[in-house]
Amino acid sequence: MANPLDHWALDREIVLTRVFRHPRDKVFAAWMDPNALALWYGPAGLKIETHEADIREGGVWRFDMVGFFDGREQRFPNLMRFLEIVPGERIVVDYGTFDPDDPDRFRMTITFDEQADGKTVLTMRQLHPSSERRRVVIDFGAVEYGMQTLDKLAGWLAG
C-alpha cells in the first residue's frame, strides 16, 4: 500500500511562507545548528529542551517544547526525523512525537529560495495524514504558531 504522505493533497496541506532579509545560506544554516534551533524554534512563549540532536539525513532532533500554562509547566514532546537535506535548498522531515507509531505524524518540507536582492523566501509545507487531522491542527493554532516560529527565526537572524 502506498504511503499516504508520498503525495501532496491540498486538503491535507498547510503552507507557510516568509521572506527574510538574509541570504539563503544564513537562513539555511539556522536550521542546521542544533544550538540555534533551540533558541528560535517554536511558538512565542515556549522554550526548547533538546534531548538528542543529530541534524543530518537519517538523523533526528528529539526535543520538548516547554511552557507555563495556568501556573504549571507543560511539556510537548516533538521528534523530527530528517529524511532529506539538500544544502541551501531543501529540508524534508517526518514530524511527530517520540511514539514510533504516532498516527498524527506529518511530513514537513522546508524550501529556501534566494532572491536577486539577497533576500530568502522560506516555505514550510506540512502534509498531514488526513484532511481531518489538518483541520484539527489548524483549529489548534498551527498556522498562528508556525508564523510565530518564523517571526522568532527572523529575530534570531537579525540578532
Tens digits of pLDDT across the chain (159 residues): 455 554 557 899 999 999 999 999 999 999 999 999 999 999 999 999 999 999 999 999 999 999 998 899 999 999 999 999 999 999 999 999 989 899 999 999 999 999 999 999 999 999 999 999 999 999 999 999 999 999 999 999 999
Three cell numbers written together for 73: 509547566
Q: Which residue has the cell 529540508?
A: 91
Residues 6+ apart with CB under 8 A from 47: 65, 66, 67
Instruction: Quote the distance between the C-alpha of residue 85 and its chain's center.
Output: 14
Residue type, 5: L
pLDDT of residue 7: 53
Superfamily of domain 12-158: START domain (3.30.530.20)
pLDDT of residue 16: 97
Neighbours of 147 (CB within 10 A): 17
Task: Evaluate whether 54 touches 60 at the Cβ level (below 8 Å).
Answer: yes
Q: Where are the domains of the chain?
A: 12-158
Neighbours of 103 (CB within 10 A): 9
Between the alpha carbon of residue 149 and those of residues 22, 87, 104, 155, the distances in Å are 17, 21, 20, 10
pTM value is 0.89
Three-state SS at 51: strand
